[in-house]
Structure 1
Amino acid sequence: MRILLVHNQYQQLGGEDTIFNTEASLLESYGHQVIRYTTHNDRIKEMNSLALAKATLWNNQIYEHLRTLIQRTKPQIAHFHNIFPLISPAAYYAAKHEGVPVVQTLHNFRLLCANGLFFRDGHVCESCLTKHTPIPGIINSCYRQSRTASLAAAMMVKFHALLGTWSSTVDVFIAYSHFAHKKFIEGGLPADKIAFKTNFLYPVPEPGTGTGNYALFVGRLAPEKGIQTLLSAWQKLGDKIPLKILGDGPLASQVSTVAESSPGIEWLGRKPLSEVYQMMGEAAFLVISSEWYETFGRVGIEALAKGTPLVVANIGALAELVVPKQNGLTFRPGDAEDLVTQVQWLLDHPQELKQMRQFARADFETKYTASDNYRRLKEIYNSVSESQMIVQ
């Protein structure tokens, strides 16, 4: 089977880029021919505001390129990951005009929120969720802290909603969590076109030992990731258990400053995946302190694969990752005191923490393997194919 995978890459390698490449490798490992079509956000630097706004709304060059590519390669499925801002929904029409079914993975809430996060001024914001026109997102400069950029993002969504793009050109949307599935329906996407499929890892790392006697955070250092809550909690914990922070982002200078004055906190910056996995496996537990509605990233299941218990904020898809006191614990998002309480419980119950490692790995093998993910992806592809037996 020939599958066209389409993705707009970021200026720095991000989670969606990794998922795109991993899914391509998975499909190829099962014998499918994968045609990759990508563009890169570096091109934005060469565009003025008007050109970028036009491309976001309808990129005719991408439309023509994709039609030509489809005519030449004849894929049986067109699977889109990120199309914002440069690929644009014009790409859906290119596939549909050539008779190719369209699948769109929903990595964030861009179709319902200008910044894609439902997060503004340090807290969850749903002001635009049920709005016909996302005026609050424009007024508050929610995308790139710019009203012009926010207007372009909002107009793309509004224009294509009026055009019927989301309901007529996309055959199925893929949501990574039950929470996201529900939220997209609440925001107006057709319920019968949203399928559920978890994220996955490929290849799968071996379990770690958990003997490092430290807690670990891995992720972007940004407000929506709950960085200030994380730092505040460890300033209260002192040196009871060291916290190692892997990642970079807009709050890096703040993290660096706090780490220099707090002996229990160490910031190590960005690391290659092999080092991340090694540190993850040795960690006593991994903390995910996000304060936005995570749609379902990879970090949580990477930790489970390494057998590392989770301490996560009880919000969005994160709540679906953890069975409390089996593979980890949850805490109230944004509540440093509650995070301290949960960490202290783990420190006071070393035997239970040790048992959680077995549950964590077992949970991964039950829910997040590549083979199960491929089976579900086949079901989704078959559901939109003219022949229900197209994927063998």
Structure 2
Amino acid sequence: MRIAVVHSFYSSRVPSGENQVVLAQVEALRAAGHEVALVARYTDERLRRASYPVEAALTTATGVGPDPTAELAAFAPDVVHVHNLFPNFGTGWLRDWPGRVVATLHNFRPMCANGYLFRDGAPCTACPSGDRWAGVRHGCFHGSRVASLPLAWRGRHGAPADPLLARADALVVLSERARRTYADAGVERLHVVPNFVSVTPAAAVAPGDRWLCVARLTPEKGVLELVRSWPAGVGLDIVGEGELRPAIEAVAPAGVRLLGGMDNAALRAAMGGYAGLVVPSRWFEGLPTVYLEALAAGLPVLAVDGNSAADDVAAHDLGVVVPTSAATEDLRAALAAITGRGAELRRRAGASFRARFTAPTWCDAITGVYDGTGVRTRGEVPLSA
């Protein structure tokens, strides 16, 4: 199959898991024998122009902007897979493209200016619920009403009218929670295809007694709330950087270490030595890559309710889910419950990863979406395997 992947790459100034996912999927499709062309625009390159902020705003608001049609026509794909057009591609070309189009919705930007459906410390669905200008009033994109205006204008008719969502023959979301959220907003033709990670088996190590949290230190990730309630004396290593680091450092109890950013290879190599992963996200979130990497390393998971990782933990018995209101003693009890089932949960985590989150499994599923037959999977292996 000839597949054209279209992606607007986010700036390298802010690490983007989405950028890495797109590159990994291109390589997985090629490894599976498909011909793949990556049609891309890069924010880092366009930022060199002083006029770029205005260009990006106009492209977002009007849909008039860089057009990949010539590159697509030259490749003549069987299917065009769009990951992200914001803010470096226009949308006008979609009306005239005659072939099959599939789009992956990595976030909620078609119905939310900041893409997270999160504001003031809690989930927010004001815009998809009909208050189309809430994002402008609250300055939801980069804290700016002016910067939020083009996104609100583009979304003023609701998510089903978004040019990409309206044109695509199939829409891929990363979790059942994301599917429900888009469906509640009136979007159809949705298929759940989680991401995957390709991992090299690490040397076996005995699990330690410290816990791991990997996240941007920003409000929607919930790390500040986690640290405020974390039991003193219980080891927790936090990998990541962000605006909330000073606030987190100020309230961190004994046992909590902020390690800053870490190379992904080093992080993966170290994972197996932790007691488990903690996922405190307060926004809905797709299944984050670090969650898949943790399962691959055999880590059980403590997750805060309300995000897709927590849904997965509960559905497949991979750890414990606590409410967003969890106090210190609630966390202490949850950690003890996971530790008490440590060996069993580590086996379940590894088996669940192998059954659901490998590159071949993803390729099978996405190929079914490409050819219009729906998601194809290899089926789960028994968790006792």
Same fold (TM over 0.5): yes
User: What does the per-residue CA deviation read over 1:269-291, in whole Å, with 9 as the maximum and x for residues that have no partner?
Assistant: 11111111122111110000011
Instruction: Indicate whether 1:51 and 2:72 are aligned.
Output: no
Change (3 A) 1:52 1:344: same
Spell out the pairing of 1:178-193 with structure 2 (5 A cutoff).
178-190=176-188, 193=189
Cα pair distance change 1:362/1:325, threshold 3 Å: closer
CA distance in 2, matches of 1:329, 1:223: 22
Superposed CA deviations along residues 74-104 of structure 1, whole A, max 9, x for unmatched, are 11111111221222433534xxx24221111
Match of 2:7 in 1: 7
State the shift of 1:206 in Å: 4.3
For the structure 1 residues 160 and 316, does the alpha-carbon distance in structure 2 shift closer, same or farther, using more than 3 Å as the test?
Answer: closer
Distance 2:159 2:128 in 1: 14
Match of 1:367 among 356, 359, 363: 356
Question: Are 1:137 and 2:130 counterparts?
Answer: no
Question: Equivalences for 1:84-123 in 2 at 5 Å?
Answer: 84-93=86-95, 97-123=96-122
Q: Does the alignment pair 1:172 with 2:170?
A: yes
**8 Å contact from structure 1 (residues 71, 98) kept in 2:** no
CA displacement at 1:203 relative to structure 2: 4.0
29 and 335 in structure 1: CA distance in 2 versus 1, 3 angstrom threshold? same
Aligned to 2:235: 242
For these two proteins, the number of residue pairs brought into alignment is 369
Aligned to 1:254: 247
Distance 1:229 1:91, change over 3 A: farther
1:388 alignment counterpart? none
Q: Deviation at 1:170? A: 1.1
TM-aligned CA distance change 1:39 to 1:223, over 3 Å: same
Choose which of 326, 329, 341 in structure 1 pairs with 2:333: 341
1:62 aligned counterpart, secondary structure? coil
What TM-score does the superposition give when structure 2 sets the normalisation length? 0.89
Write 1 or 2 for the structure with the bigger share of helix.
1
SS in 2 for 1:5: strand
Deviates more, 1:201-210 or 1:360-369: 201-210
Take 1:296 and 1:361, find their aligned partners in 2: how far apart are those partners? 16
Q: Decide whether the 8 Å contact of 1:324 with 1:330 is kept in 2.
A: no
Please state how far the C-alpha of 1:23 moved relative to its aligned partner: 0.4
Write the letter of the residue equivalent to 1:84: F
Paired AA for residue 152 in structure 1: P
Which one is further off, 179-188 or 43-52?
43-52
Of 81-90 and 181-190, more deviation after overlay is shown by 81-90
Secondary structure at 1:307's aligned position in 2?
Answer: coil
- Partners of 2:357 and 2:100 in 1: how far apart? 26
**For 1:10 and 1:143, how far apart are their aligned partners in 2?**
15
Opposite residue 345 of structure 2, the aligned amino acid is M
Contact 1:229 1:336 in 2 (8 A): no
Residue 289 in 1 paired to residue 283 in 2? no
Structure 2 counterparts to residues 212-227 of structure 1, below 5 A: 212-227=208-223
Equivalences for residues 311-322 of structure 1 within 5 A: 311-322=302-313
- Report the Cα offset of residue 266 of structure 1: 0.9
Task: State the Cα distance separating 1:355 from its structure 2 match.
Answer: 1.7
- Distance 1:92-1:144 versus aligned 2 partners, 3 A rule: same
Shift of 1:58: 4.2
Instruction: Classify 1:181/1:36 alpha carbon distance in 2 versus 1 (closer, same or farther; 3 Å).
Output: same
Which residue is 1:211 aligned to?
A: 207
Bigger mean CA offset, 37-46 vs 193-202 = 37-46
Hey, what does 1:23 align to over in structure 2? 25
Distance in 1 separating the partners of 2:238 and 2:47: 31
**1: CA distance, partners of 2:165 / 2:179:** 16
Structure 1 SS opposite 2:27 = helix
Q: Would you say 1:377 and 2:366 are equivalent positions?
A: yes
